[in-house]
Structures are given as structure tokens and as C-alpha cells.
Structure 1
Amino acid sequence: MRISTMIFLTDETLGPVQLARELEQRGFTGLYLPEHTHIPVSRKSPYPFGGELPREYSRTLDPFTALGAAAAVTERLVLGTGITLVAQHDPIVLAKQVATLDHLSGGRFTFGVGLGWNEEEATDHGVDWKRRRTIVRDKMAAMRALWAPEPTGYDSEFVHVEPSEAYPKPKGLRVLLGGAPGPRLFADVAGYADGWLPVGQDPAEHLPALRAAWAEAGRAGEPQVVPYGVRPSADKLARLGDLGIEEVVVMLPPSGADEALRTLDGYAQYL
């Protein structure tokens, strides 16, 4: 099983260059970073995992900039977002960012995408919260049009892109969709992604429904399932392996180098 990592990199934690080097030297598979542009202090949206919102959510580094720094000092490390809040982005600019990072890293980028949970953050970006699922679907389609081999346009309610010359092109880009399990999410996974990033859910319970949606959409093979933010144990990883899961993303503390690297050394037993 491949072991990747995720962390809220902030202005108070170790930096992406040091962490990326340490991960690659130890043999970890990848580094995934979350995204929040800002956290409005009104705090109307409850923290999905309960309690007070942790400090690091309002201090996250921009994931594309940080992953670009990590790409420059590594050769094998998978670089991913977990997740990009696609509804909050201009899809033409985002398509260029994704393609550029994938190009500069030699095809090592995994594009983790999601709908988001913080309504007031999204509202500041002009997102119609109740329609964000459709917005994300449209923006993903527009990005794929820009990544197509030949100039391809896209026109919908939310996005218009003329047939365009747009380079570089991603190299076999992997797209993983995060979100709560259910028919709508799994239809979206089958519609425009390569798999699911479950956070805090037991994949075993939901795999039959995901596979059914995948087959109904006419997709070949199996959807990838990459559990995200896992606190690992030998038993937990063994159970996930028995499900056929090939990669998990374990959680590192949003801390300075000493604590983060101690945690990383503890996880090395699972490599």
C-alpha cells in the first residue's frame, strides 16, 4: 500500500521545501495540501468535524504555490490538492495552474477537487451556494475543454470558453473528488473524476454504491478510492488493503519541523 501525507501548511508550520525533501527521502508516496483562501469571522458554517474550527484553517498557504516549491526539490513525490475549492476559482486560470504544475513536476500532480463546506467563504467569491455542485461540474468541463488536444469550446450557464490554444497540457492527470458519500456525489465521481477521496467515512460501507454508479456511467475498470486524512494503525491499513485500496493519505500535525518529523518517523513503520 502506498502511503501519502496531508498537512495544513501555514505561516506557522515547517515549510513545503523541507517537508517534501523529508517525505521523498523516507519513501512516502505523496504530499497533499488543502485550500482555504480565507475564513470569514462570522463563522456561520459549522466545522464539519465538530467543535471549534482549528487555527490552521485560516492560515493555510496557497496549495499551488506551495506544491510548486515542493516539486522543485523532488523527483518522485506525488503532489496533490486535497481539496481544491473549484467553485471559488476562475476555471480558465485554474486550468492553467493545474496544467503548469503538472508540467513542471513531470506529470506528478493529482487534482483533488471538492464542493466545500464554508458557505460564507464561497459567498465572498460570488458562489451561489445552493448551486455549487452544478458550478463545479461546469467548471471541470470547461477545464477539460482547455486541456483537450485540439481547440475545444465549452458553453454553459456558468462558464463560456471559446475554442482556444491553451498549453501546456496535463499528462494523464488524475482527478479525485472529495465529499460525503451519496448518489449525487457518486454520480459526479463517475461523471468527471477518476475516484473518490473519502474523509472520515468507512469506504467498505459505500463501495457497492460507488461501483454501481461507475458501471451505470459506462466507466471501465474500477474507481480509485483514496482515504484522506487517515490516522493510521496496522489494523486499519490492513482492513483498507483487504478492500483493494492501494493508497491512503495520512494526517500530519500542522506544526513546526520537530513535531511533524517525529510523526512522520512514526508513520514510517507502515511503509
Structure 2
Amino acid sequence: MRISTTIFLTDETITPVRLARELEQRGFTGLYLPEHTHIPAERTTPYPNGGDLPREYTRTLDPFVALGQAAAVTRRLGLGTGVTLVAEHDPIALAKQIATLDHLSGGRFTLGVGFGWNKEEAADHGVDWGTRRELTRERIGLMRALWADEPTAYEGGGPGQSVRASHAFPKPVRGGAPRILVGGAAGPKLFEHICAYADGWMPIGGGGLSRTLPGLRAAWEAAGRDPGALRIVPYAVVPTPGKLAHYAGQGVEEVVLQLPPGDETTVLKALDGFQQYVSGSHQYGGGSH
């Protein structure tokens, strides 16, 4: 099993460069970063986990800039977003950002896609909350058109959702698109999106997989997708040996562990604690790379 990490990197935490170097030296597989452009001070949307919104949500670094720094000081470390709020982006500009990062890193980028939870944040981006999922689907389609080998047009369903056949370079290294994983809670709507345009699912916390995975696998096969190609990557996991063994039994090949949003001393101490999972990753069905 491959052991990756995620963290809210902020202006108060360990730096992307220091963390990326440590992760690669210690044998971790990847680094995934979340995204919030801003958090409106006046909001009615509750924090999904309950209680007050943690401080780090208001101070997150831009994930693409931070991952660019991480890419520059590593050679093997996987780089990903967990997640990109695609509906909050201009898709033409986002397609360029993604392709550039993937190109410069030698194909190490994974696009984690999410639909968001903060209505006020989305509204400031001009997003109609009830349409954000379909908007995300359209913007993924537009980006795929720009990543295609030949100039390809895309006709979306609304303003700013179309692009004429264009010359757009660089291209994602693996061809067509980088690896795409969709985050979110299990259900028919989410599974429909995964089957339509993604390579797999990032279940937040990783709970209940034995109950939910059969439904996703059935939807995946019904959509004509290769059963062996589906990727399940539990995300923001607080690990135990039993939990990782359970994931392996569900066919999971990569898990993303949650690091604290702390300073260098705090994060390195957490990595020391996670080292047992990297060192023992062969017990869970695979090596760490």
C-alpha cells in the first residue's frame, strides 16, 4: 500500500519545500493539498465537522503554487489536490495550471475534484450553489478538450462553459488528462460523476467502505468502465494498523494520512509517528512507491 499525506499548509505552518523534502526522504508516496480561496467573515454555512471553523481554513496557501515548490525540490513524490473546487475556477486558466504542473513534475500530479461546502465562498465566485455539480462536470469536459492531442472544441450549457478548438500546450504527461479523483460522500449522484469523468473516489475519512464500495463498483461497471481501473484513495485518514489492513482488503492501494497544520517541529513529529505505516506498507498489499 502506498502511504501519502495531506495537510492544511498556511503562512503559519511548515513550508512546502521543507515538507516535500522530508516526505520524499522518508519514503512517503505523495502530498495532497486542500483549497479555499477565501472564507467570508459573515457566513451562514456551518462547518461540516461541527463547531467553530478551524483557523487554518482561513489561511490556506494556494495549492498549485505550493505544489509547484514541492515539485521543484523532489523527483518521485506524487503531488495532488484534495480537493480543487473546480466550479470556482476559470476552466481555461485552470487547465493550463494543471497541465503545466503535471508537465514540470514529470506526470506526478493528481487532480482531486470537490464540490465544496461553503455557500458564501462559492457565491463570491459567481457560482449558483444548486448547479455546482453540473458546472464542475462541464468544466472538466472543457479542460479535457484543451488537454486533447488535437484541437478540440467543447460546447457547454452556459456562458463561459465553451471553448473553440485550440492549440493548448503543455499536455498532461499521461495523455488525455492527469489522474482525476472525486471527493465527497457516497451516493448515486457522486458515483455518477465518478463514473462519468474520473479515475476513482477519494472518500473523506475512509469510513464505511465495505458498505459503500459495492454500489460504486456496480455503477462503474454499468457505465462500461474497466472494473480493474477503478481507484479508491481514502483521504484525510487518521491511521491505525487495523484500519489500513481493512482498506487493503477492500482493494485500496493508496491511502492519504492527515497531518496536523502545525509548525516544523509539530509536523515532523507527526511524520515520525506515521513512519511505521511506510515501513510496514508491505503488510497492507504493496510497497510505499
Give the TM bin, normalised by the shorter chain: over 0.9
* Distance in 2 separating the partners of 1:250 and 1:43: 30
* Distance in 2 separating the partners of 1:204 and 1:6: 23
Decide which of 168, 171, 179 is 1:169's aligned counterpart.
171
Deviation at 1:43, TM superposition (A): 2.5
Quick check: 1:194 aligned with 2:199?
yes
Larger mean CA deviation between 196-205 and 85-94 belongs to 196-205
Report the 3-state secondary structure (helix = DSSP H, G, I; strand = E; otherwise coil) of the residue aligned with 1:229.
Answer: coil
**Equivalent AA in structure 1 for residue 107 of structure 2:** G
Report the 3-state secondary structure (helix = DSSP H, G, I; strand = E; otherwise coil) of the residue aligned with 2:60.
Answer: coil
* Distance in 1 separating the partners of 2:169 and 2:49: 39
Aligned-residue RMSD, C-alpha: 0.7
* Distance in 2 separating the partners of 1:176 and 1:203: 16
What residue is the counterpart of 2:140 in the other structure? 140
What residue is the counterpart of 2:25 in the other structure? 25
What residue is the counterpart of 1:90 in the other structure? 90
What residue is the counterpart of 1:112 in the other structure? 112
Which structure 1 residue ranges, 4+ long, deviate > 2 Å from structure 2?
none
* Distance in 2 separating the partners of 1:251 and 1:170: 27
1:41-84: CA deviations, max 9, x gaps?
11211111111110000100000000000000000000000000
What residue is the counterpart of 1:45 in the other structure? 45
* Distance in 1 separating the partners of 2:43 and 2:254: 34
What residue is the counterpart of 2:69 in the other structure? 69
* Distance in 2 separating the partners of 1:213 and 1:198: 16
Deviation at 1:242, TM superposition (A): 1.1
* Distance in 2 separating the partners of 1:270 and 1:180: 26
**Equivalent AA in structure 2 for residue 234 of structure 1:** P
In structure 1, runs of 5+ residues without a counterpart are none
Contact in 1 for aligned 2:217/2:227 (Cα 8 Å) = no
Contact in 1 for aligned 2:115/2:136 (Cα 8 Å) = yes
* Distance in 1 separating the partners of 2:162 and 2:241: 49
Quick check: 1:178 aligned with 2:183?
yes
What residue is the counterpart of 1:229 in the other structure? 236
Deviation at 1:221, TM superposition (A): 2.7
1:19-61: CA deviations, max 9, x gaps?
0000000000000000000000112111111111100001000
* Distance in 2 separating the partners of 1:133 and 1:270: 35
Provide TM-score, normalisation by structure 2: 0.93
In structure 2, runs of 5+ residues without a counterpart are 279-289
State, as a whole percentage, how many aligned pairs show the same letter.
64
What residue is the counterpart of 2:273 in the other structure? 266
What residue is the counterpart of 1:241 in the other structure? 248
Decide which of 208, 212, 222 is 1:216's aligned counterpart.
222
* Distance in 2 separating the partners of 1:43 and 1:196: 29
